[in-house]
Structure 1
Amino acid sequence: MKHDICHAPVALTDAAALNSWNAMIRAFLAHKPATPQHLADTLDAAPDFAMGYAARGLFALMLGRAEMWQVAEDARTAAHQAARSSLPSARERGWLDALDHWLADSPTGAVAALETVLDRWPQDTLSAKASHGIRFILGDAPGMRASVERVLPAHGADHPLRGYLMGCHAFTLEETGDYGAAERAGRAGLTLAPDDAWGLHAVAHVHDMRNEPDAGIALIEGFSSAWEGSNNFRYHVWWHKALLHLDRGETDVVLALYDRQIRADRTDDYRDIANATSLLMRLHLDGVAVGDRWDELGALAQNRIDDGCLVFADLHYQLALSGAGKTGAVREMTARFARDARKSGDMADRVADPGLSALAGLTAFAEGRYATAFENLSAARPKMQSIGGSHAQRDVFERITIDAGLRAGHFDATEQIMLDRLALRAGHADRFAESRFEQLSRLRRIPAQ
């Protein structure tokens, strides 16, 4: 049996198909827009390649869009049909099992299936990245780190994809609070894989958490090779740049980045909506007028009320609906959450807790009911990591919680949340922290220290 660029067995005998598959792996690791085309070329050349169809299905589900569910179902049908006409390897079987689990509402089962592949082939960077991506959706930072660290030894200096796995490692180190090691791993990975947008963004996270906006901006501007050729992930990199400029108080620069980069293509990809809504919300909390920018996001979010794929996406849709003043749509989302919370499965569990409380808190905040907002958002906090995303992405909910508490007069409880947030950042106070601690002191009529 042949082996692919991951040094793992692959059921491809045709040279053109193997070349396309290897190109797909590199593109997937680097977040390149050519990924689906390379996969399509692979399957055109090898129509009985079960793992290829399984990859198509898993990649579709990672997009977090309701219409992708049928794409994944069709891919599963094709994968199993191909498997019946051949003898799939354990690697292929693991990918088929992963797709089956996710389509049965168990992305945790999908992760377990991919980890069985890595048990046998720890050098399989493709399976490692897929497991990493699903764990990210599930908010499992410790699991991401453990997974990467157990396969790192199999990605030695001779492994052609070592740099990309180092980028994954950097992100897991950052999300588990080891900021110095994260920066070192991320920068070392970029020397091996200069087009690794994920690794670059991991280091940008470090600079955000350590309140180093100058260094973060210089990083993004200095490593354009990492994001210039990426898919819509480049908008997320620009979002990080906007956060860093916001921390320097450069709101004009932030709005220009929003208009010219972050929302240059007005897509309704949930990740792009999350970038936009969370940035507008940060500006709103700081008293910056954003004009009619909410209207476009609200119109797109209104079409996603019934998606129900990811709580992370839904909460950002709710921000957009509230920002655009779509009160009827806000109520529809609330009703859909109530229905979904009664279902079973990994995502339904997350809708029930923390989703219901978080959604109620965001709605109350938008309506000026700050005591209710603080009560609900505080109740959601212990499990908010389970909705997925990163510390930086979920920080918008932390900021709303803090502002709700200050406005409602819950000073002691709010101060503890502010201290928790500061501790997560290893004691590095950003502009938001400084302004809210000052505000808290004024509200308590104690001079700021």
Structure 2
Amino acid sequence: MGRLDRYDLPLSTTSDLAAERYRTGVDLLLSLWPGAGETLEESIAADPDFALAYAARARLHAISVQPAQARAYIAMALDLVARNGTDRERSHVDVLSLAINGQAAKALTAALAHTDRWPRDIVILSMPLGAFGLFAFSGMADHDQARVDLCERHAKHFDADDWWFLTYRGWAHGENGDLQLGRALTQRALQLRRHNVNAAHAVAHVLYESGANDEAQQMITGWLPEYDKTGVLHGHIAWHSALIALERADTDRALAIYNEHVAPAASLGTPINIVSDTSSFLWRMQAYGHAVPSGMWEDAARYASDYFKDAGFPFADFHMALVAAATGDSKAVEQRVAVLSRLVDEGKLPAGPVVPAICRASLAFAEEKYALAAEILEPVARDVVRIGGSGAQREVVEDTLLVALMRSGEAGKAHAILNERLHRRPSPRDERWLDQLRSAHAPLANR
């Protein structure tokens, strides 16, 4: 009898153990739970000619930002699948190879074509989805809608209680603004598979976007201790908890969470998460009018200095600009902006001119040139989605614009943004800011 994956797709292996370890390993991979690497290695050991086990291992190395290992494993998979794989397996490995070898646009096109033929091949279907997926980092302005469309196109192929599909379908709808549906789907996904990091992450996001901070804090506090600190998103999920404390102006708690889980010395996450989480947390704290303790920005800058030195990865570019601006390294920001502007002119930066603009604005804001920061940000604020990541991660840009408007005397514009935000969700911080705008004597955005 042929071996199958969890979705009844044939596997080119002669070993029952290799197939079982592969199925388990893929579940761990797609739930981001520790143990995926070891389980996939057991699959490889049981059948050293099983191409998809190497491919899944390569995918995990790529997620863990281990590019040399990822390329080595995908090369093995390509060789093996050419000799003994099915059409589906060859296409599967080809898509992963494109992504691992830096051809993201081609990988996205190939992934979409592949999933049209084999919609239940979830390793490939997962690739365009997520905050750091191929859609998010494509530079598209409508990638949130694109994720919804992809999920809905293939929803008929999945059981109603498929924990994996519920996770990503719920994430897609939540990020695209349907918070009620997003919440229902992601919470059901977490209920079905509690040790599913992507579901816990998605629930944290949809609760944040709903303004349900008490529930979000309760979920994170109850769930995070079960997730080993070596997990790639441990620090990031704790970051959500720190943001909730910051929202309430509880800086002692926010800093305690940051120091225990998020700071470079504490987090074992990937560089993109550590750089973005540390810089955006400290930037928010400072922008909200709270003093950042001595040495914290310097620690973040020291860590960031080893990564993302070359401009052209918009999500990282913006966060690197925050670090440089906050630590007074105006030259670094200007150099990054110059390279990004050249890439825009050459048509080589799909996210477009919003990227150098938000980097320039961060420097203006750090230099207390608030009117200039607002002038730069206002025309591009709606395009920030093109840098990728999640709505919660990108919101730091709108926060910067809002505070810049308040501090430059543009109370009317600030009031309009706050009204729009408060219409979308409750926020103690935004309510405090609105009160400040109503008081002619209060120092704006400074408490």
Q: TM-score, normalised by structure 1?
A: 0.86
Q: In the TM superposition, what is the alpha-carbon distance from 1:401 to its structure 2 partner?
A: 1.0
Of 81, 90, 103, which residue of structure 2 is paired with 1:83?
81
The Cα offsets for residues 31-80 of structure 1, whole Å up to 9 and x where unpaired, read as 123333334444454444444444455555556x6x73x55554554343
Match of residue 322 from structure 1 = 325
The Cα offsets for residues 350-374 of structure 1, whole Å up to 9 and x where unpaired, read as 2x33211111111111122222211
Please show how residues 126-205 of structure 1 align to structure 2 within 5 Å. 126-133=123-130, 134=133, 135-138=135-138, 140-156=143-159, 162-205=162-205
Q: In the TM superposition, what is the alpha-carbon distance from 1:7 to its structure 2 partner?
A: 2.3
Of 83, 95, 98, which residue of structure 2 is paired with 1:97?
95
Match of residue 280 from structure 1 = 282
Q: 1:80 to 1:343 in 2, by over 3 A?
A: farther
Q: In the TM superposition, what is the alpha-carbon distance from 1:339 to its structure 2 partner?
A: 4.1
Match of residue 270 from structure 1 = 272
Q: 1:203 to 1:379 in 2, by over 3 A?
A: same
For residue 252 of structure 2, give the secondary structure of its aligned residue in structure 1.
helix
Conserved? CA contact 1:7–1:124, under 8 Å:
no
Match of residue 388 from structure 1 = 388
Q: In the TM superposition, what is the alpha-carbon distance from 1:184 to its structure 2 partner?
A: 1.5
Q: In the TM superposition, what is the alpha-carbon distance from 1:321 to its structure 2 partner?
A: 2.0
Unaligned regions of 5+ residues in structure 2, if any? 443-447
Please show how residues 346-365 of structure 1 align to structure 2 within 5 Å. 348-350=349-351, 352-365=352-365
Match of residue 23 from structure 1 = 24
Runs of 4+ that moved beyond 6 A: none
Q: In the TM superposition, what is the alpha-carbon distance from 1:434 to its structure 2 partner?
A: 1.5
**Matched letter for residue 441 of structure 1:** R
Between the aligned partners of 1:401 and 1:329, the Cα distance in structure 2 is 22
Between the aligned partners of 2:98 and 2:274, the Cα distance in structure 1 is 28
Match of residue 111 from structure 1 = 108
Q: CA RMSD in A?
A: 2.9
Conserved? CA contact 1:32–1:231, under 8 Å:
yes
The Cα offsets for residues 269-300 of structure 1, whole Å up to 9 and x where unpaired, read as 11122112111111111222221111111112
Between the aligned partners of 2:338 and 2:30, the Cα distance in structure 1 is 38
For residue 216 of structure 1, give the secondary structure of its aligned residue in structure 2.
helix
Between the aligned partners of 2:334 and 2:270, the Cα distance in structure 1 is 21
Match of residue 295 from structure 1 = 298
% of aligned pairs identical? 24
For residue 131 of structure 1, give the secondary structure of its aligned residue in structure 2.
coil
Between the aligned partners of 2:49 and 2:232, the Cα distance in structure 1 is 31
Conserved? CA contact 1:304–1:317, under 8 Å:
no
Match of residue 37 from structure 1 = 38
Answering whether residue 250 of structure 2 is matched by residue 250 of structure 1, we say yes
Q: 1:266 to 1:326 in 2, by over 3 A?
A: farther
Conserved? CA contact 2:242–2:257, under 8 Å:
yes
For residue 265 of structure 1, give the secondary structure of its aligned residue in structure 2.
coil
Q: 1:381 to 1:75 in 2, by over 3 A?
A: farther
Q: In the TM superposition, what is the alpha-carbon distance from 1:85 to its structure 2 partner?
A: 2.4
Please show how residues 214-225 of structure 1 align to structure 2 within 5 Å. 214-224=214-224
Q: In the TM superposition, what is the alpha-carbon distance from 1:102 to its structure 2 partner?
A: 6.8
Between the aligned partners of 1:268 and 1:104, the Cα distance in structure 2 is 18
Stretch moving more, 115-124 or 393-402? 115-124
